[in-house]
Amino acid sequence: MTELDCSLYLVTGRALLPPDKDYFESLEQSLQGGVTVVQIREKDVDTAEFYDIALRSKQLCDKYKVPLIVNDRVDIALAVQASGVHVGQTDMPVPIAQIEQAIQDGADYVGIGAVWATTTKNLSKPIVGVRGVGEMLQKLDGTSIKSVAIGGIKSSNLLRTLHGSVSSTNHALDGIAVVSEIMASPHPREAAAGLYELISAFRHSNSISNALSVRSRYSAEFVIDGVVDLMNIVRERSPLIHQITNNVVIAQSANATIALGASPIMATTAQEMEDLSKISGSLLINIGTLVTSAYEGMMLAGTFANAHRTPIVFDPVGVGASEFRRSSVKNLLNTWQASVIKGNAAELAALVGSNEVESKGVDSLGSGFKDPVSFVRDLARKERCVVVLTGKTDYVSDGASVAVLSNGHGLLGNITGSGCMAGSCIASFCAAAVAQEGADPKEPKLVPGDVFLAAIGGILALTISAEMAAMRDDVKGPGTFLPALIDELSLLSAQCIRDRSRLQIVSR
């Protein structure tokens, strides 16, 4: 087969056509819209009918110089001189084994699915999820085998699908395959064109961000200047920070947000998520006292935030404490793309399934990871976002650079919710970062570049304010520390950040 352009791979499914829509008309319109390869998939027809459909489809595809592939039937593929045949997906329980088999068999491409839930096909295996795709792509490193993701891909989740489906080695998908998003549409030309446009835009922005992270050898001076700029923007624009957080810390998180200069809205109900997504500068999702109704709000709020390219700060509080939290976090992260994931050593260890760090409920025990710098950098690459590891020393990484921050005070560990307030501060800085960049529709990004600076800024604001609070004569212990901390957040000056920040940038 000559070089196959898998960018937008249409799998046919005549059962999904809208009433009165002719199959061949639909196919031709989708070819006009930019479909780059077509697979004829017919599960319920006899050989003669399959042959007729495949032959006429082949003529249409030829007209648009698009390769045609036949599902399952080598005889029909040969008879209509198709470009290929799609085989072999049915009975392998482990998707990774399926990939290995495809490599062995000398496949030209692999379809990875189902990436989302779908009703188009009866799935015999569990859903891979967006975060599962990257691991499989890594298996294809060093081969020329192309890859497409399939299953439940829609224009509404396409950007999230593409962003998340990249391996730590930066192996990205060659394209996406859809059935219903095009076949069920009364306007297949527009449906295909819309998907194709998003794919091109993503490729463009992804190549830019890769080029940027190669260049991103930040200096400490550059970072501090950036943090100060963002803090000024928070105070000038007072962005609305939508926070779905736990009921232990709602009031103090809201107060910390106000003190920093931003404007909190603490709303958890699913029914208001769409409205709030239109006016929020960033979204904080903190699972501290997770209840089912808030979980529903989190699912929706994150989905809307991705659609508006609003940064999401995710705090998987106590994720290792229960199976409910673990599975909820997995589902949340497979549904929307976080811009920042923040946690203590135990939480981030639980997130990757490591037992290197022990925990008790929501608290981390012991000193943490042997090599925290590599840990946060690798996790940032895996989750495709900025990662913040909090502790006595805080680590922030964008997958290329790691900022090591050693500000703070022991009293932060003696009150509840200091990590949650750090999340509110990071979310406030994130809102400033996107307010500054502005959304460029040609470069749709779910993790804009300045989010790295924003995460550092949020940590510095809280930890330096804690140092200032602890020095006050009227602070006698944890009870007097908390209000003093809120005071100091509101008094924090650019000069104080410049004078006190203890920041080191490691790039390796």
Mask 135-154, x = binds ligand 3NM (CB under 6 A)? ---------------xxxx-
CB of 111 to Mg ion, least distance (A): 5
Burial state string for 251-274 with b = 16 or more CB within 10 A and e = fewer than 16: ebbbbbbbbbbbbbebbbeeeebe
- In the complex, the smallest distance separating the C-beta of residue 339 from ligand 3NM, rounded to whole angstroms, is 27
Three-state DSSP class for 33? Answer: helix
Per-residue HEC secondary structure of 439-490 comes to: CCCCCCCCCCCCHHHHHHHHHHHHHHHHHHHHCCCCCCCHHHHHHHHHHHHH
Instruction: Determine how β-strand 340-344 pairs with β-strand 386-390.
Output: parallel
Q: Which one of the spans 34-42, 88-96, 128-136, 400-408 is the region binding Mg ion (CB under 5 A)? A: 88-96
The residue written with tokens 């399934």 in the block is 353
Residue of 118, 205, 243, 310 interacting with ligand 3NM (CB under 6 A): 118
Q: Given the complex with ligand 3NM, which of 180 and 428 has the nearer CB atom?
A: 180
Q: How far is the CB of 131 from ligand 3NM (least distance, A)?
A: 16
Residue 348 sits in the site that holds ligand 3NM (CB under 6 A): no
Cβ distance to ligand 3NM smaller for residue 89 or 257: 89
Say whether residue 456 binds ligand 3NM (CB under 6 A).
no
113 interacts with ligand 3NM by CB under 6 A: yes
Interface with ligand 3NM (CB under 6 A), residue from 4, 11, 54, 82 = 11
Q: Which residues pair with 312 in a beta bridge?
A: 283
Q: Minimum Å distance from CB 157 to ligand 3NM?
A: 11
Q: Which range binds ligand 3NM by CB under 6 A, 118-126, 192-200, 277-285, 423-431?
A: 118-126
Given a contact cutoff of 8 angstroms between Cβ atoms, the answer to whether 506 and 409 are in contact is: no
Residue among 114, 130, 192, 313 that touches ligand 3NM (CB under 6 A): 114
CA–CA separation, 277 and 265 (whole Å): 11
DSSP-derived letter for residue 416 is T
CB of 372 to ligand 3NM, least distance (A): 37
Q: Which of residues 177-236 bind ligand 3NM (CB under 6 A)?
A: 178-181
Cross-strand bridge partners of residue 86: 71
Query: Rounded to an integer, what is the distance from CA 267 to the centroid of its chain?
Result: 22
Task: State which amino acid sits at residue 68.
Answer: L
Site string for ligand 3NM, 169-188 (x = CB under 6 A): ---------xxxx-------
Which of positions 301-320 make contact with Mg ion (CB under 5 A)?
none
- 437, 411, 33, 80: which is closest to 197 by C-alpha? 33
Query: 121 or 235: whose CB is closer to ligand 3NM?
Result: 121
Determine the Cα–Cα distance for residues 455 and 450; give it in Å rounded to an integer. 9
Hey, which residues does 318 pair with through a beta bridge? none
In terms of Cα–Cα distance, which of 92, 218, 93, 205 is closest to 505?
A: 218
> Residue 30, interface with ligand 3NM (CB under 6 A)?
no
Residue pointed to by tokens 């829509």: 21
DSSP per-residue codes, 158-226: HHHHHHH-B-TT--B-SEEEESHHHHT-S-HHHHHHHHHHHHHHHHHHHHHHHHHHHH----HHHHHHH
Q: Is 420 part of the annotated catalytic residue set? A: yes
- φ/ψ region of 454 (left if φ > 0, alpha if ψ in -120 to 50, else beta) reads alpha
Contacted by 120, from ligand 3NM, Mg ion, none: CB < 5 to 8 Å by type: ligand 3NM
CB closest to ligand 3NM, residue no: 113
Pick one of 12, 26, 29, 89: the residue that binds ligand 3NM (CB under 6 A). 89
Task: In angstroms, give the least distance from the CB of 257 to ligand 3NM.
Answer: 40
Shortest reach from residue 113's CB to ligand 3NM, in Å: 3
Q: From the list 7, 120, 255, 344, which residue makes contact with ligand 3NM (rule: CB under 6 A)?
A: 120
120 versus 161: smaller Cβ distance to ligand 3NM: 120
Q: Return the SS3 of 68.
A: strand
Q: Which residue type occupies 461?
A: A
Q: Determine which one of 6, 61, 385, 420 is catalytic.
A: 420
Residue 268 contact, options ligand 3NM, Mg ion, none, Cβ 5-8 Å cut-off depending on partner type: none
Residue 179 partner contact from Mg ion, ligand 3NM, none using kind-dependent CB cut-offs of 5 to 8 Å:
ligand 3NM
Sites for Mg ion among residues 107-126 (CB under 5 A): 111
Report the SS3 class of residue 90.
Answer: coil
Under the binding rule (CB under 6 A), the answer on residue 111 touching ligand 3NM is yes
Among the listed residues 7, 83, 89, 245, the single contact to Mg ion using CB under 5 A: 89
Helix axes 451-470, 220-237, angle to 10 degrees: 80
Q: Which stretch binds ligand 3NM (CB under 6 A): 18-26, 75-83, 111-119, 358-366?
A: 111-119
Return the number of the residue (11 or 412) whose C-beta is nearest ligand 3NM. 11
The residues that touch ligand 3NM, with contacts defined as CB under 6 A, are: 11, 89, 111, 113-114, 118, 120-121, 123, 150-153, 178-181
The residues that touch Mg ion, with contacts defined as CB under 5 A, are: 89, 111
Residues carrying an active site annotation: 420
